Amino acid sequence: MLLLLAMFLVFMLQIVSRYVLNLPIGWTHEVSVMLWIWLVLFGASFVVRDSEEMRFDLVYAAVRERTRRLMALVTAVTLVVLFTLSMPATVDYVTFMKVEKTAYLGIRFDWLYGIYIVFAVAMIVRHLWVGWTSIFGKAPEAYDPTKASSGV
């Protein structure tokens, strides 16, 4: 919520500065983009529940529990493998980006994009759990549109 509030305030400052005061400032756009990246990736890592993730709801709700378990397992294994395989290149790229800085504020890109590594690790852990529960626990619930939420 605080990230979204900060992004809104900076965005409003940018609008007032550009269109009311006729004094465009560039750092506000940079801050808005940084806050949006962190908002999306941090939210997906720690706020959005598994039941709020996007799915093919029509197919998912139409199949039996055993098929939902299999679908969850296939998805979990695929995502764990892909995120794990991409992790060395991701870490290498993010650490390489310490040589680049943002145009206005001079913030190092490795600090800015470091949240992606956190996101990738969170997705690996989350989908290991999804895979485990699909094998040994109960099947994920079928989609219920009466319980839909915004996700964040």
The terminus-to-terminus CA distance of the chain in angstroms comes to 9
108 SS3 class: strand
Q: What is the pLDDT of residues 100-144, one digit of tens each?
A: 999 899 999 999 999 999 999 999 999 999 999 999 887 666 666
60 and 102 inside one domain: yes
78 and 40 inside one domain: no
96 and 22 inside one domain: no
74 and 114 inside one domain: yes
Q: Tokens 């839909």 appear where?
A: 148
User: How many other C-beta atoms can be found within 10 angstroms of the C-beta atom of residue 94?
Assistant: 19
Lowest mean pLDDT among 46-50, 52-56, 97-101, 111-115: 52-56
12 and 81 inside one domain: no
Domain membership of residue 152 (yes or no) is: no
More confident residue, 4 or 57: 4
pLDDT at 151 over 60: no
* Residue 56 binned pLDDT confidence (cut-offs 50, 70, 90): low
Q: Could you give the angle at the alpha carbon of 58 between the alpha carbons of 66 and 75, nearest 5°?
A: 50
How confident is the model at residue 122, as a pLDDT?
96
Residue 87: which region, alpha, beta or left (left: phi > 0; alpha: psi -120 to 50)?
A: alpha
Q: How many domains does the chain have?
A: 2
Domain span at residue 20 reads 1-48
Torsion of CA 50, 130, 113, 56, to 10 degrees: -50
pTM above 0.85, yes or no: no
